[in-house]
Structure formats: structure tokens, C-alpha cells
A and B are shown apart, each in its own frame.
Chain A
Amino acid sequence: MNFALQGRVPAFGLFLWLLSAISSHAGESAVPAGVSGPVRRDHVTVELVADSAALSPGSQFEAGVKFTLDPEWHVYWKNPGDSGEAPRFEWELPPEVTAGALHWPAPERIPVGPLLNYGYEGEVVFPVEFALDSSAVPGETVRLVTEAKWLVCREDCIPGSARLELVIPVETAPRPGPHGPLFEAARATRPHSLPAGAAVVEDRSGMVTVVVRRNVLGGVDPGTLRLFPETEGILVNAAPQKVEAANEVVRVSVPKEAMHPSPVTVLPGLLAGKLPDGTRKAFSFEAVRSGGMDRAGPGLLLAILFAFMGGLLLNLMPCVFPVLTLKILGFVEQADSDPARVRRHGWVFASGVMAAFAVLAAALLLLRAGGEQLGWGFQLQSPGFVAALVMLLFALALSLSGLYEIGLSFTRLGSSAGGGYGGSFLTGVLATVVATPCTAPFMGPALGFALTQPAVSAVAVFAGLGAGMATPYVVLSEFPAWLEKLPRPGPWLDTFRRVMAFPLYGTGIWLLWVYGHLSGVDNAVRLLWALWLLAIAGWLWGRTQFQLRPLPVVAAMAFLAGAIGLAATARPPAVAVSGAPSADAFWKPWSPEAELAVSGKPLFVNYTAAWCITCQVNERTVFSRDDVRAAFGVAEATVLKADWTQKDSVIAGSLARLGRNSVPTYAWYPEGISGRVELLPPVLTASIVINAVQSPR
């Protein structure tokens, strides 16, 4: 406690202060005292204990209420099961102490006749993490007070409560206390958090199944695993659980409550089992349903179907448009050649798209295996990738502008003779790479599915996406009659080609803006210099293409190497760059705490990123409108923006809880964070938002 007496204290005040200091160790605190040491209540002894006998300024420690229960009596887990109530602790802390998380120990299954509870028997402590501010002064004391309320039951139940306190001295170095081992043991058996995507929930024909990857269970005998749902009212708690262990995954199935008709999309909970030596081990997870839109738990086929439709729609998303022009160009030329070759080109283009999706899938799986938290568009969260993409687009645009010809005739211009399949293939690859930052409707669930499934399913879903994206072009090449409606090649084609360079430049500028957000203005300018070198290299290269001279070739290579080197040596900025595309006071920054702070009141969360052009379009055309903002005002809604421009596992986890892994995601909670949630479509109009926000609650 802070005993600094400010100014002159009247004698009477000093007397009172001495009295209070003597009686309850309290300084200026107005917190009424609680009871130190063990307290006996009905069928239970409770005591506020800590892992340390002394604290040092700036240190962290754990403290919590220890329950010593009479035989056969129990208290409850946060989900008490079929009946009962979890204990509650209201902490009253001095200003220099901040509280962190309460770590619920892994509970036991406690059968009560045909019903079942989740709780604790014997001795249990509920540890809370605390931090002592570095401003605390050795020689003082810290007084923790908690108002504990609980329900203790055998068959019959008795509510209990106690006001408990603990006074810990502040010293220069922390000292472990007699309860240290109790907290050590609690830490050792504390549920271990599984990585996002390690567990999936399925909901089929009256059974809810949690599927978990076997390699995250650290040697626990699968047969001993039991599922503890954190959400109440979904599972039949007392039902026997069925465990099936396969090579890659373990499936734990529990019958679903008949009264819970809606499909289970998210299931947080614990899996607890035993190691071969009998030690108990628990894992906490947040299982997201594979998929998240259809009413039935989607099978693989359904996910592929969604992926296919999503792929089709990808062609219509704003960020694919520049690439679309590239493809149109290809078709314009092909219109001149014989149908068989056009058809082959269509297929080669399609295989280019498929190959790119296959590489993406492989990369995704590799990174997933590394435990990375990923989302669609993740490759655009890596600055190096964005820089490379900017350079590639710029190089292509330079070629379209006529500075030089790409050897393989990338866009197949100027190569009237056969071949050029490499060009079609690469166009397919490029189209895919540039399209990825956009999430089309339907695609989120399919990807959510892919991210959490065994490798084969994931690849199949990606193949569905690729097939959807490539289909229109294959169809076009299969029916060249459609192509013949396009004009014949001629001098106009050269003009057309020069014009087509500009959308590519534009795409490059947009990506440069993304890059600037990712790694700062210095690096962005560095990249511009790299483009400048690239332009010189391109010009030199173009000169060599007409009459081959060794010097310019070498010079071109040197400039190219310089450009790549310059871009590659960009250093990450010293200060984390804000990815906020615009410092807009309308939005408050998102955090889990910010969500909870407005519980019970309408809440809108905008998951966005600078590299997501669909998000940017929505920002500019919908969220900036006065009528939309007014609607939020009328609904008295809190509006939070979760900016995913840079990797952020907290945001990724929050998206996962919504069954999504990509932006844009727009979540509307009419009754606050603990109520129902409505996900808005990724492509918004003002009326969609206004109607959602105004709908009667």
C-alpha cells in the first residue's frame, strides 16, 4: 500500500491512519477487510492463498481461493453441466496490482444419478495471475481482497460465500511461499491451449464430434480422452462418449441435446486424458465447424461445391479485374488461331490456375503444420511477397507498354507461331496470385474447412476453388464461336495492348500502398527505386532483343540484380507500422477487452486489412456514408475495427470463433458480444448494413 502522506495531515487524521494501519494493514484503502487464513463454511474450507510469501516491485504472481471440500462434496467448473453454478470471485485490488486471467483447472466428471456435473472434489485452487506495478515500494504490503461466492453440492446443494483477504509484504526480491507447490501443481496440470485449427467440430445426425489432430495431444492415450464442453446446453453431459482414434486424428463423439436445434458451429472446451504413466493432461481448444454456412454439417463434397462457386465468383471481385484484362488480351489473340489450339490454351490456362492453387494449398499445409495462424490472403501479410508482386506487375506492365518483349511471350503477344503455352500457364498462375487477397462469398467456409481438415480434403477444396476460377475460360475456349465475336487482330491490337498496361500499373500502385502499410514509407520508397532500376533493366533488355549485344545484356542483368537486391534488403521498420488505412475516429480499435467492455449493448466488428481490396471498397463506398454512420448512432452501437493488415493471432482467433479465416468479415451483435451474431456478406451495400443494424431486436 502507498503510505505517502500528502501534505500536512491533521493530528486526528494521523491518529485514524495509525489506527487503521494497525488494525488491518490498510493504508488509504477504503476496501472493507476480509478474513485472512482458512475459513470454515458448510462442507468446505476456503482460503485466499498466493504462490509467494513476498513480492518484488514489477513482479508477477498468482493468487486464488483454495477450496478444501468435505468427502463427496463438490464445487463446479465454469460450465457446471446439468445443474449447479460455477464459483465467482469479485476481486478488490489496490491500484498497484492488476489482475490477469483466472485459470480454471481441468474438472472431473461427477455423475449425479442420471445427470452429470463438471466440477472438483477434494482440494482445488482457482489461480488468478496478478502483476505488481514497479512503483510499489519494498517495505509496504499489498492487500488482496476477494468476495467469493460458490455452490457446494453432494446431492443437496448449499450456496456459500466468504470475504477473504491476503496481505503480502513487498520486498526487494520475491520469496516463494508455503503454497508455492500448490500453484506449481496447478500450473503443471493446467489445460494446454491447442493451436487454432487443431480441433474441428462436426454436427451430424444427433451427434457432436470434436476431431482433433493426434500430433497435438502429446502422447495422451486417446482411449482415455473425455470432452468437457465449455458451452452449456449443447451436449448430453451424462451420455457415454465415443472415442475413435485413427492415424492422423482422434474423434470424440457425444450425443447432442435434443433441445438444441441449431447446428453447432463453434465449440470451445477441454479434452482431458491420461498419459501412459497415469498423469492427467488436459487441452483447451476452440473447435470451429468445418464450414459455417449451410444448415447441415458440410461434407467434403459440399465444401468443394462451395469452393467451386467461390472460385467462379472470384472472377468478378474487384482485385481480379486487372488480371481479367490480361486474359481478355490472350483470348483476343487466340481468336485468330485454330480452335484446337485455342482449346488447348484454355486448358493450359486452367492448369496454370490449378497449379497455383495447388502450390497455395501446399504452402498453406506446410505453414499450418508449423502451427502458423493463417488466413486467406495471408501471403499478402508478408512484406517480401508483396514487394515481389509489385515488381512482377511492374515488369509485366513495362512489357505491355512495349519496352521489351517477355521471352516466353508471357501474354503471347507477337508470337504468332504455335507454342506460347507457357504464357497461358503463367497467366493462369498470375491470375490466381493476384486474386487471392479477395474473399468471395462462399469461399470463407470452404477455406475454413480446408484449414482444419486432413491434407487430402484441404487439397480437394483448393482444387475446387481453382476449377471454379478457371471454368469460364475453359468454356470460352471450348466454344470459340463466342470468341469470334471479338474483333480480328490488327494494328489496333498494339494500341489495345499499350492501354492494357495501365490497369497493371494501377494494381502495382495499390500493392505498393499495401507494402507501405506493411513496412513503412522508407521501404516503400526503396521499392520505388527498385522499380526504377527495373525500368532501366527492362529498357536495356528490350534493346538487346532486336540486335543482340553482349554489353547491354550484362548491363540489363546488372540492373535487374540491383533492383532485386535493393528490394530484398529492405529492413523491417523499427516501429511497428499501423496498418490502419485511415485514421478514422469513427472506429474504435478492436480488442477482446473492448468487445467485453460493451457487453449487453449492440456491437459491430469490422475485420479488415489494408491489402484486402474488397474491404477498402466497402470502407470507401459504404462505411464512409453519413446514413450508414447515422444508423449505427441510432442503434447506439459500438463500432470496432479489427485490423489484420499484419499478422495477429488474437484477431485470427476471433475470426476462427466466427467460423471464418479471412477478411472482410463483418459481425453484428444486436444484443452484445454474448448474444447472437449476424455475419454480413463480404460485398456490402449501404442498405445491407442499415437494414441489419435497424432490424428489430
Chain B
Amino acid sequence: MKKKTWIQGIAAVMTLVAMGAGISVLMSSRASALEIGKPAPSFTGKGSDGKDYNLSDYRGKYVVLEWLNHGCPYVAKHYDSGNMQGLQKKYTEKETIWLSVISSAPGKQGYSTPEEANADVKKHNASPTAVILDPEGKIGRAYDAKTTPHMFVIDPKGDLIYAGAIDSKRSTDQKDIPKSVNYVSQALDEAMAGKPVATASTQAYGCSVKY
């Protein structure tokens, strides 16, 4: 029957098209280590105070990770202006854990001994929960930290809710800070108010992390 074969042919073609579409959709989805809304990579790091800091200990609290190198003019912008210290103070008072991570390798700019790191905290009047020393770059690579500063915010469930730049204006000029949107405080404020984070990932700016 001619008509039958014709309809069967059409059906077969449509099935093939649908299958092809399905396969290409499936192939395009993939798992990745670092994703907004997914659990943040776990780590245990040595603090400049000699203590071990384990991310999993902070379930139930917001955690901010800040990649730090005081020799970098972009970091200087936010420390010389008091911007970073202000954020640390404001959010650690709200029970947030603030970890500044130094991933500079020995011999590279920004590498700090525990004593040097502690002296820097005092000198800049900073108030992070701790400064984590990561000279092997393990934590840095787990988070794919590229710049100083590079900021990450983790929610009480342990999921990553923000990753990227500290604010919206790439420059080494302190005068740009009032004109910019601070993505870290924006993400924390939105999440703490029970709202979804509007800007969850941005392009980080700064100097290279000196792995």
C-alpha cells in the first residue's frame, strides 16, 4: 500500500530527527567541578595562626573566600581605601566566615610566612576569620582562582553562590570604588534576605595568582 509506506517513511524521519535532537541536548550537558548552585570544593587549609581550617566545619554559615596578595595594586586598591576591611568587619559581625587565601608559591610575589601574614593583617587593620596559607596552590586550583582579588561566596548549605570579581569596575584606582557595584556584598545581602543571587558569576579582575 503506497500511502502506508509513505506515512511510515515520514514517521521514521520524524523519529530520527527527534532522536538526533535528544542526543545533541544530552551531549551538551556536562558535570563540572565548580558551578554556581553546586557544592563548593571542600578543602582543609593551614591558617597563619597555625590552626587547620576545614570548609565542612562551616556548614550553617556563609563563607567568603578572598584570594590575597598584598603586592598587587588591585589588592592595594581595596586595602588602602579600607574597602576590603570594611566588608570583612561588616560580615564577620553577621556570623560570616571570611577566609583570605594566599596561594603565592615560595619565591613568588606575595608568598608569606605565617608571621608575615599576621603582620600584614595587623598593618592593614584587617579582620578576616583567618588567613589561609596555600603555597602549593591546592585550594587555588580547586577553585580555579585566577586573580587577586578573586572572591567566592558559599552559602550555609555549602553551595557556591557567587564567584568572580569583587566589584564592577576593573581598575587600580580607589576613586572607582564608590562608583562600582560590590558583587560580594550584593550576593551576601540577597542570599541573607532569602532572595536568589542576581549576579552569581562575573569575570574576576586583578593580578595573576602567583602559583
Interface check A158, CB cutoff 8 A: yes
Interface of B is mostly: loop
Q: Is the beta-carbon distance between B32 and A302 smaller than 8 angstroms?
A: no
Given the complex of chains A and B, what is the CA–CA distance between A157 and B208 in angstroms? 9
Q: Beta-carbon contacts of A427-466 to B below 8 Å, as 1s and 0s?
A: 0000000000000000000000000000000000000000
Q: Beta-carbon contacts of A201-237 to B below 8 Å, as 1s and 0s?
A: 0011110000000000000000000000000110000
Q: Is the beta-carbon distance between A295 and B25 smaller than 8 angstroms?
A: yes
Q: How far apart are A265's CB and chain B's nearest CB, in angstroms?
A: 13
Interface check A155, CB cutoff 8 A: yes
Interface check A258, CB cutoff 8 A: yes
Q: Is the beta-carbon distance between B208 and A258 smaller than 8 angstroms?
A: no
Interface check B72, CB cutoff 8 A: yes
User: With A259-B201, A261-B36 given, is the CB distance from A153 to B147 under 8 Å?
Assistant: no
Q: How far apart are B134's CB and chain A's nearest CB, in angstroms?
A: 14
Task: Report the interface size for chain B: residues with CB under 8 A from the other chain.
Answer: 47
Given the complex of chains A and B, what is the CA–CA distance between A156 and B105 in angstroms? 13
Interface check B205, CB cutoff 8 A: yes
Contact for B30 among A155, A206, A294, CB less than 8 A: A206
The 5 closest A-B pairs by CB, nearest first: A301-B20, A296-B28, A258-B32, A233-B203, A83-B208
Q: Is the beta-carbon distance between B208 and A155 smaller than 8 angstroms?
A: yes
Q: How large is the interface on A (under 10, 10 to 19, 20 to 34, 35 or more residues)?
A: 35 or more
Interface check B183, CB cutoff 8 A: no
Q: Is the beta-carbon distance between A302 and B24 smaller than 8 angstroms?
A: yes
Q: Is the beta-carbon distance between A157 and B72 smaller than 8 angstroms?
A: yes
**Chain B residues whose C-beta falls within 8 Å of the C-beta of A82 in the assembled complex:** 146-147, 208
Interface check B114, CB cutoff 8 A: no
Given the complex of chains A and B, what is the CA–CA distance between A153 and B69 in angstroms? 15
**Chain B residues whose C-beta falls within 8 Å of the C-beta of A151 in the assembled complex:** 73, 172
**Chain A residues whose C-beta falls within 8 Å of the C-beta of B109 in the assembled complex:** 155-156
Q: Is the beta-carbon distance between A299 and B35 smaller than 8 angstroms?
A: no
Q: How far apart are B151's CB and chain A's nearest CB, in angstroms?
A: 12
Q: Is the beta-carbon distance between B21 and A302 smaller than 8 angstroms?
A: yes
Q: Is the beta-carbon distance between B146 and A153 smaller than 8 angstroms?
A: no
Closest to A479 in B: B3
Interface centre among A158, A259, A296, A478 (most CB of B within 10 A): A259
Closest to B18 in A: A305
Given the complex of chains A and B, what is the CA–CA distance between A478 and B10 in angstroms? 13
Interface residues of A in 95-135 (CB under 8 A from B): 112-115, 117
Q: Is the beta-carbon distance between A295 and B28 smaller than 8 angstroms?
A: yes
Interface check A298, CB cutoff 8 A: yes
Interface check B71, CB cutoff 8 A: yes
Interface centre among B21, B137, B147, B202 (most CB of A within 10 A): B21
Q: Is the beta-carbon distance between B28 and A478 smaller than 8 angstroms?
A: no
Q: How far apart are B106's CB and chain A's nearest CB, in angstroms?
A: 13
Given the complex of chains A and B, what is the CA–CA distance between A295 and B210 in angstroms? 37
Q: Is the beta-carbon distance between A115 and B208 smaller than 8 angstroms?
A: yes
**Chain A residues whose C-beta falls within 8 Å of the C-beta of B211 in the assembled complex:** 113-115
**Chain B residues whose C-beta falls within 8 Å of the C-beta of A308 in the assembled complex:** 17
**Chain A residues whose C-beta falls within 8 Å of the C-beta of B171 in the assembled complex:** 85
**Chain B residues whose C-beta falls within 8 Å of the C-beta of A300 in the assembled complex:** 20
Q: Is the beta-carbon distance between B16 and A301 smaller than 8 angstroms?
A: yes
**Chain A residues whose C-beta falls within 8 Å of the C-beta of B33 in the assembled complex:** 258
Interface residues of B in 3-29 (CB under 8 A from A): 3, 6, 16-18, 20-21, 23-25, 27-29
